[in-house]
Amino acid sequence: MANCLEDHGYEAWAVGGAVRDHLLGLERGDWDLATNARPDQVMELFSRTVPLGMEHGTVGVLDPDGTLFEVTTFRRDVETDGRHAVVEFADSIDEDLARRDFTINAIAWRERTGELRDPWNGRADLAAGILRAVGDAAARFAEDYLRVFRGLRFAGAYDLTFDPPTREALEAAVSGLDRLSAERVREELVKVLAAPTPSAALRLYRDSGALGVWYPELERHANDAGWDEALATIDELNARDGLLRLCRLLLVIPTEQHDESSEDPGESAAAGLLARLKFSKADQRRVLHLYSHFLPFVSPVDSSADLREWLSSIGPGTERDLFRMHFAAARAAGAEDELNALVFVWRRVHEERLSGAPIERGDLVVNGTDILDLGIEPGPLVRLLLEELHARVLEDPELNTREVLLQQARELIEMAGLEGPASDPEAE
Ligand code: ATP
Ligand code: MG
């Protein structure tokens, strides 16, 4: 890949996160290359290319072995406004490195010559555990405020200490964060949540004040006892399921579930945050569903009927994620007994799910049409009747035969009839 560029007379420099992580002894699969070849020249040299962002000079190149490289022509900034930059192509790797955000990200390595370009002494900072802006920190943040979030992420992920002027400039730049687009802020959060242990970066989000700008709902609870518990639990959750970690983060907002009919204030705060960050509708649905069903949870002393009722209340395909979150919380707390209890109750829940016992409303052997056939008017009573039959079947799966359920429906209709046609037989 780099060889091919070099063989055609171009410079090929590995840059960015791959070099940084390599110097730290961390292995990773993606390499970003910087080159003096222009995008069209890169496209010409390789057969399998994707124009990832020609206006920024980035071409994706698929290696013969299937690795995707991002090859970007040397650039310099012409104009910046705090959220995007107008760039032009540059001639040297040094110019290209000068527009990068932090010294640890501004190191380049040229395989062909073995040369390491490190004009900003990023290696020394990396060794000393220091995060330092390239050049004038205040100016660098003002060019692109996303660097504030990036800085917090890198400091958290690599356990770096801010160089004092960088720290000062970062805190002053927090007020500019509102100018960023939701998409970039979201992608930053997603990267934080994909790190092995997001807690450090999230704590820095809070301590720097950055949390309050984009996540005021979280900031309101960032000094609650639940905050540290949430962060420790997030670290225990699988890094590959960022949405589950996100859900656990949102759960610092108390769910405050009073009853089923009133809209849950916690849920609407969580929903507001997800919408502001422009998560996809599907992601919003999944996270909110888990958020709102996190509690109440099952316990080892619950009856089988309780477990089925719980399964029915959370809906299909949900219990595994909920258990994951509760397991992670117990691990974070080092609570061995709690873990054992969770394993025990999970096994029982799993057995209920597989037992074939009716759980979802759709598992009932009668439906709305059957109820209408009993001669009642279409209306809310039909749904109430089915809900009552469903509750009874969850209690006792043996009742789930047409004969029994239709008989019970008739009796309920009769009772309702005595109290007037529109009343709910179980309301009192
Ligand atoms: P990772 O991929 O692990 O998140 P990374 O350092 O590779 O970290 P990328 O976003 O992939 O981060 O960017 C690659 C490189 O591009 C960075 O190392 C940095 O040199 C530069 N860079 C990326 N975003 C910015 C930015 N907003 N301002 C300045 N330089 C940036
Ligand atoms: Mg990268």
Rounded mean pLDDT of 27-39?
Answer: 91
Kindly give, in sequence order, each residue whose CB lies less than 8 Å from that of residue 74, ignoring residues fewer than 6 positions away: 34, 35, 36, 89, 90, 91, 92, 93, 95, 96
Given this model, what pLDDT does residue 425 score? 47
Rounded mean pLDDT of 283-311?
Answer: 97
Count other C-beta atoms under 10 Å from residue 6's C-beta. 16
Residue 408, pLDDT above cutoff 50: yes
Residue 421, pLDDT above cutoff 50: no
Residue 374, pLDDT above cutoff 50: yes
Testing ligand 1's pocket by substitution, the residue of 21, 105, 144, 148 carrying the most ligand atoms inside 8 A of its CB is 105
Given this model, what pLDDT does residue 263 score? 65
Given this model, what pLDDT does residue 68 score? 87
Residue 351, pLDDT above cutoff 80: yes
Ligand 1 center from residue 17 Cα (angstroms): 6
Residues of the chain by 3-state class (helix, strand, coil), percent to 5: 55, 10, 30
Ligand 1 center from residue 218 Cα (angstroms): 26
Residue 424, pLDDT above cutoff 60: no
- At position 404, the amino acid (one-letter code) is V
Given this model, what pLDDT does residue 212 score? 97
- Report whether 171 contacts 208 (CB < 8 A): yes
Given this model, what pLDDT does residue 262 score? 58
State the residue for tokens 């477990």: 307
Residue 121, pLDDT above cutoff 70: yes
Given this model, what pLDDT does residue 252 score? 97
Given this model, what pLDDT does residue 419 score? 43
Ligand 1 center from residue 125 Cα (angstroms): 17
Given this model, what pLDDT does residue 418 score? 40
- Across the chain, mean pLDDT equals 94
- Report whether 75 contacts 36 (CB < 8 A): no
Note the Cα 296 to chain centre separation in Å: 23
Q: What single DSSP character describes residue 130?
A: E
Testing ligand 1's pocket by substitution, the residue of 70, 73, 101 carrying the most ligand atoms inside 8 A of its CB is 101
Rounded mean pLDDT of 377-398?
Answer: 94
Given this model, what pLDDT does residue 206 score? 98
pLDDT digits (tens, 9 = 90+) for 63-94: 888 888 999 999 999 999 999 999 999 999 99
In the chain, the percentage of residues whose pLDDT exceeds 70 is: 96
pLDDT digits (tens, 9 = 90+) for 200-251: 999 999 999 999 999 999 999 999 999 999 999 999 999 999 999 999 999 9
Write down the H helix ranges in 8-51: 17-23, 39-45
* Residue 12, helix vs strand vs coil: strand
Q: Which is the closest atom of ligand 1 to the Cα of 18?
A: 7
Ligand 2 center from residue 32 Cα (angstroms): 7
State residue 89 phi and psi, 5-degree precision: -75, 145
Banded model confidence at residue 257, pLDDT cuts 50, 70, 90: low
Q: What is the dihedral of CA 318, 320, 324, 327, to 10 degrees?
A: 120
Instruction: Look at residues 270, 266, 272 and name the one whose alpha carbon lies nearest to residue 287.
Output: 270
Rounded mean pLDDT of 360-384?
Answer: 92
Residue 144 Cβ contacting ligand 1 at under 6 Å: yes
Tokens of residue 83, six digits: 């959220």
Our CA angle for 135, 137, 140, nearest 5°, is 85
Given this model, what pLDDT does residue 168 score? 98
Given this model, what pLDDT does residue 363 score? 96
In the chain, the percentage of residues whose pLDDT exceeds 90 is: 88
- Classify each residue of 94-126 as buried b or exposed e, where b means 16 or more C-beta atoms within 10 Å of its C-beta: eebbbbbbbbbbbbbbbeeeeeebbebbbbebb
pLDDT digits (tens, 9 = 90+) for 332-348: 999 999 999 999 999 99
- Which conformational region is residue 148 in: left (phi greater than 0), alpha (psi within -120 to 50 degrees), or beta? alpha
Residue 127, pLDDT above cutoff 80: yes
Ligand 1 center from residue 282 Cα (angstroms): 28
Given this model, what pLDDT does residue 150 score? 98
Distance CA 316, CA 332 (A): 27
pLDDT digits (tens, 9 = 90+) for 260-294: 555 678 999 999 999 999 999 999 999 999 999 99
Residue 104, pLDDT above cutoff 60: yes
Rounded mean pLDDT of 29-47?
Answer: 93
Rounded mean pLDDT of 33-45?
Answer: 96
Q: Which is the closest atom of ligand 1 to the Cα of 147?
A: 27
Banded model confidence at residue 258, pLDDT cuts 50, 70, 90: low
Instruction: Tell me the whole-structure pTM to 2 decimals.
Output: 0.92
Given this model, what pLDDT does residue 112 score? 96
Residue 423, pLDDT above cutoff 50: no
